[in-house]
Structure 1
Amino acid sequence: MYQLLIVDDEIYAARGIQAGVEWIELGISKVHIAYNIRQAKEVFAKHKIDVMICDIEMPEGNGLELLTWVREESPFTESIFLTCHADFEYAKKAIQLGSLDYMLKPARFDELQAVVEKAINKIKTAKEFDDYKETYEHYLQLWSLYEPLLIERFWMDLLSEKIAADPYEIREILEEKKIPYKESLQFLPILISIQRWHNELNPQDEKIMEFAIRDVAGSFLIKGDQQAQVIQIRKGILVAILPIEDQDITSLDLIKKDCQAYIDFCRQDLYCDLSCYIGELVAIHNMPTILDSLLRCESHNVSCINQVLLMSSRKNKEITIQLPDMSVWSDMLKKGCKKSLLVEIDSCLQKAKQSEGLDAEYLHKFKQNFLQMIYYVLKVKGMPAHNIFSENMAFQEVTRSVTYLHKWVQEIVIKTADYLEDKETNQSVVDKVKAYINEHINEDITRDDLANYVYLNPDYLSRLFKKETGISISDYLIEERMKIAKELLRKTEMTVKDIALEVGYSNFSHFSKTFKKSTNMNPKDFRQFKQVHA
């Protein structure tokens, strides 16, 4: 819980603030009041103040002086000024001293509560960062002292197939290196897959945190067994190897419980999501084969996160789900139905997540179809794709899980819909008419259609369009259609009839006459001329 201090020489103002806000809802257990700077310092001496609400002009010294003192004596306190003085110099000085906000009296209690909540959230974020930093420093120290062990080296060579999976050769190596594995030992591998880091990490930080995850796996899964190992196969993939005596009675439920406790600890204390894949009990020479099976299970898992999974139950099944019809989605996006589209996408991916046999291949196809749909909408709306897709987008990562794909798809839909809405809001009437023509170029477009689209009288729209462009709507429509027709004649093998339909002419003769009037050549002659002079 947090503590808050109100500093104001006006007694009723201070008490009004104290009584007017639901402090408990913000996690504030104690609200102190001071009527001057001296009393405020006394409160700081006795209590840890997390948030201070302070007036500026007071008889025994102003609030800026108090904030200067607080910055030195209690640097983690968040301060908010609440004053009658709308003075720019005061506000400027308050910002320089690190004040979170500068509010004018009388402030509404809900506004004040929102600012205090912002301060509390800032304090929480800082505390989480400090906790993370402390954990990081601990494992940095451990990592710097770590040295590979002999048994670990053996397992690395065996699993990477530098050592042949031959029982006799393995026995000779064990004897040569004096590794104390008995003939009766069998081994249970547990694959550990790091699925997501909660914080963005640079390469060195990621290495150190992977070491932390490996170290913690020793505590939860190995529990001091000197013959057991946790080794890293590659980035983000570790394997715990548990030796089991033939006569041992191994409880699978207990191992699953240990794995889940390990997962929960990593999520809460090491700020990552991971899953554990439990293999089958095998002889030492079969470990490379069982590891390959576990890796296949891991690659096929796109729907489970922070879970314990058994290899025996993760059998590949034929995908029975169908990819969605995204042509409907494109219509919804073009019409600005953002909320409805997001609900539709959520329903589709939730259904996929619950389906048998879901794997990365389905997500990859979904992503490709989704990108095609977005590019189509952007093309129709006459907008470049680079406004939506940033250069550093990790396209490969989005198919790693349904969760990643869902988040990425939501971001793209929201960004595209907002961009379309913003562009249409800022478009002039003439720009909207041009955009409509471009989007419906292959349809029969009338002046009334355009007038209804922009909610204007047809005659007024015609005068407005010609005033701004210098040509009539009908002439502009012909120009745009002929421009596209020329490009299609020049760059494609489409028949002239098909091109006529593509640009909105169902009457082939009418198209030819209009084209010749525009270019002084009929369509076939134009195509031949351009091919000769290409």
Structure 2
Amino acid sequence: MNVLLIDDQPNILSSLMAGIPWLEMGFSSIFTAQSANAAREILSDNKVDIVVSDIEMPGEDGISLLQWAREQGYDYECILLTAHADFTFAQKAISLGVLEYVIQPAKQEDIIHAIEHAIQKIKANGETSPVPLAADQFNYAAQNIVIKTLFEEWPVIEASIINPAKLEKRITQLKQFGINVEAENPCIVTLINIRKWKKLPLTAADFLKHYNHLLHELFPTDTTTISYYLDDKYFITVFFTEGTDEIIRGIEALHKRIPSDIGAATRLFFAKTEVRFIKNTMEGIIGIEKKDALTHKDDCRMIEVNNDDLYSEALGSDNYQHYNKLIHEYIENHISDAITRTDLADYLMIPPDHVSYIIKRTECCSVKELVTKIKMEHAKGLLQNTKYQISEIAFKCGYDSFAYFSKVYRETYGITPSQERS
């Protein structure tokens, strides 16, 4: 077999050349290139089975080179080295059939493991140049980079309130995995901690592979999940579904099956939440698990998460006043409209229930009562300072019925609009 090493830094190439036992691993030729152009020439003139390439290089990057190679029909196994776990880079790499995605600085054994994996893949295909991987066969380790990066960058609710676009961006990326959800959709976050192995330990990627098989076996076919690992001890799964009894029983069965099917004793924590609260919930569960780690108990426990409390804490007293000001401005600027709680929620980009909560905290009244109060204040100003007909004022304040307008005005101020003007 032949291998091509690509990196713009000579010291990295020297380290790869000297630190990997290439001959013992069965390689007859080792090619090196310090640029994408040099790599193109080598690929065009030589048979290459495995490429180990840096992503970030001057000029053309490693992803662009790989895309060119795939278009030319070069089906080598590719291992990418990068100092950044970038979502877009990792996602593109997986779409091009990258076998391993190694984060630098990496231990020498990590790179050797990746190369051994590539050799096994080639042998399993029975030829020195395997066909590209099918979409459902992408390497778990490479795919984990994409998913882990997605959730590491998932905003806490505090950040989502200040800048809703942050959450929208992550939800859009989630949809690229075929998971069509919105911010307020329910979900369940689970955390698995491997306490000890009852047999020879698996790598995190291999554990995830067996674990996903269990998920498919234990849960209904229409259950949408996404899983990834933080390290070789902690694994997270998000179930994008209601926390029904059937799903809860499945999670409890999952905890019981992991020791017998995979050989690991685990603790499992899970919590019902919503998509917008995923990051807060993850951080909460991890904190609780680490706090309880000294119990050494292999249990399965549901953690109660109060989403209303999370949202209220995120808003804070300063944000209450900020939102209250925006609510007043919206009503005043749409005084002739029939304003609903949904209208305010859409404008503020927060749930309708939280509009009610904010108004209750700041105004001590309902949404309808606040809208009526501001409309009546506007009507009173028009009655006192303009010569508009009372029917015109009613219409300007969003009331089609003169009689109903007069009734509401009298209930508010104790006098009719006509008495106010006189």
TM-score, structure 1 as length reference = 0.25
Q: Of the two structures, which has the highest relative contact order with CA contacts closer than 8 Å and spacing of 6 or more? A: 2
> What is the TM-score when the length of structure 2 is the normalising length?
0.32
Larger Rg over CA atoms: 1
